Amino acid sequence: MKQLLQIILQIGLLILLSAIVIGWFWGVPYLFHLIMPHISYTLFATVWLSIALVNNIYGRIKAQRQLKQIAEVQKIMGGN
């Protein structure tokens, strides 16, 4: 019974997280489309997802640079 409850809660959490992601990536462009209906929803969605992708790539590059700097400082300080 306890395992069944855990499985049901996990499925519910997965559905909730999926709804948040779908609402964020498809809902926000839809709201912009409601405000400016003469511009296509596809354009808003493409721009929205492109911005998210660029932010993700920029964050990864920034994290790699920081890791390199930390490694250099540790090397200079004689750490492991």
Residue 59: its pLDDT value, please? 95
Residue 6: pLDDT band with limits 50, 70, 90: very high
Residue 79: its pLDDT value, please? 65
Q: CA angle 77-78-80, nearest 5°?
A: 115
Q: What is the pTM of this model?
A: 0.55
- Torsion angle of the four alpha carbons 25, 31, 32, 38, in this order, in degrees rounded to the nearest 10: 120
Domain ranges of the chain: 2-77
Higher-confidence residue of 67 and 76: namely 67
**What average pLDDT score do residues 29-41 get?**
84
Find out whether 48 and 28 touch, Cβ atoms under 8 Å: yes
- DSSP state string for 30-62: HHHHHHSTTS-HHHHHHHHHHHHHHHHHHHHHH
Residue 63: pLDDT band with limits 50, 70, 90: very high
